[in-house]
Structure formats: structure tokens, C-alpha cells
Amino acid sequence: MNAIDQLRDEHQTVRTMLAVWRKIVGRMEKGGDVNISDIERLLGFMKGFVDHCHHQKEESYLFPALMVLGDRQIDEMVKVFTRDHARFHNLVQDLSRAMEGYKKGDERAKQKMLEALKDYIAVLSNHEAKETNVLFEIAENNLPEEVQKKMEKDFERVGLEHFGAGTPNQFHNMLEHLQQIYC
């Protein structure tokens, strides 16, 4: 699978995560029961897969390769996507803090969790769609083949650094399990 297709595939996984989060948020807003360990697992996915692995691939390899093209519009898009990544990271931290408070019985923390999740879902949904439908097309159509081949190798190395040999099956299995429970 080429580098851009890998990113597309990872975005599909992110869309699955967002669908599960939407259902969890809906349950929480209605006062329904949500297992805190499910929230912790999804938070682990957000930190490990999305924030550290996927965003690293984009920020360390895709974005710099696109910036070399010297196109002002592309440069501006990359800056926006990079700012979004920082925002996601901050929202994940907000969610982590709120969840710790919630586990200690702070009822206000539940509202903080919901606010962080709603913001994360809204911003990431829009971000993911723009990257998939615009930026990845630009990359596929404008990056030289040798650059894309090098990104494939770089992406493989990032995956190995984060997950060891093979793909992050534990995350995919966890998402499938949570999708069955909540969706």
C-alpha cells in the first residue's frame, strides 16, 4: 500500500473512532451508562494511534514534502492542519484531566469531558475530510514517485517505533469491539 493510501486507511480508522465517540457522547448526554474503561481505551487510541503515530507521519514526512513544492496555498493548508493537530493534542489533554476528575467523583468533570469530546469530534471530522479529499489528492498528484516511496519507508519505521512488527491490530480490534457495543 502506498503512503497516501496508508493515510487514507488510517483516516477510515479515525472515522470509526469518531462514530463510537458520537454514540458515547449521546449516551452520556442522556444519562446512559458508559463504561469508563471504554473511554480510557478510546483515549489511549487517541493518544497512541492518532496523536503520536498518524500525526507524526503527516507532520514529519507528508507536510514537509508538500512544503517543498513551493505552493503558497498548499503551505497555508499545511499550517492550518498543523495547528489543528496541536488543538487535538490539547483537547486530548483536557479530556484526560476531566476523566481523572470524573473517576474521582467530580460531577462537573463529566461536562468538561463532553465539551472536550464534542469539540474534538467536530474539529477532527472537518479536518479529516479536508485532508482526505483535498490534501491527499494534492500529494498523490504532485509529489514525485521517489518522494512517495521514501514516505512509505518512513511510515513503516514510524509504525514499528510505535507498535512493533505488523499493524496496530490491537487498536483495530478494540475499535471493532466498541463499535459493536455502542453503534
Residue type at position 151: M
For the ranges 4-18, 34-48, 167-181, which has the lowest average pLDDT?
167-181
- Which residues in 41-144 belong to E strands, given as ranges? none
Work out how many domains the chain is built from and give that number.
1
pLDDT, mean of residues 31-53 = 92
Higher pLDDT, 62 or 169: 62
pLDDT, mean of residues 14-33 = 95
| The pLDDT value given to residue 165 | 57
| The pLDDT value given to residue 168 | 60
| The pLDDT value given to residue 105 | 87
Using an 8 Å Cβ cutoff, are 122 and 161 in contact?
A: no
pLDDT reading at 93 higher than 80: yes
CA atoms of 173 and 175, how far apart (whole Å):
5
pLDDT, mean of residues 83-106 = 95
| The pLDDT value given to residue 80 | 97
Looking at beta carbons, which pairs linking 71-74 to residues 24 or more positions away fall under 8 Å? 74/138
pLDDT reading at 167 higher than 80: no
For the ranges 42-56, 61-75, 103-117, 150-164, which has the lowest average pLDDT?
150-164
| The pLDDT value given to residue 42 | 95
pLDDT, mean of residues 153-178 = 82
The model carries a pTM of: 0.93
CA atoms of 44 and 65, how far apart (whole Å):
29
Residues of the chain with pLDDT > 70: what percent?
97
Structural domain of residue 140, as residue ranges? 3-182
pLDDT, mean of residues 93-122 = 94
Q: Which residues contact 144 (CB under 8 A, 6 or more apart)?
A: none
Q: Which residues contact 154 (CB under 8 A, 6 or more apart)?
A: 3, 57, 60, 61
Instruction: Report, in angstroms and rounded to the nearest whole number, the Rg of the chain calculated over CA atoms.
Output: 17
Residue 40: which CATH number?
1.20.120.520
pLDDT, mean of residues 80-89 = 96
Binning pLDDT at 50, 70 and 90, where does residue 149 land?
very high
- The per-residue pLDDT of the chain, averaged, comes to 93
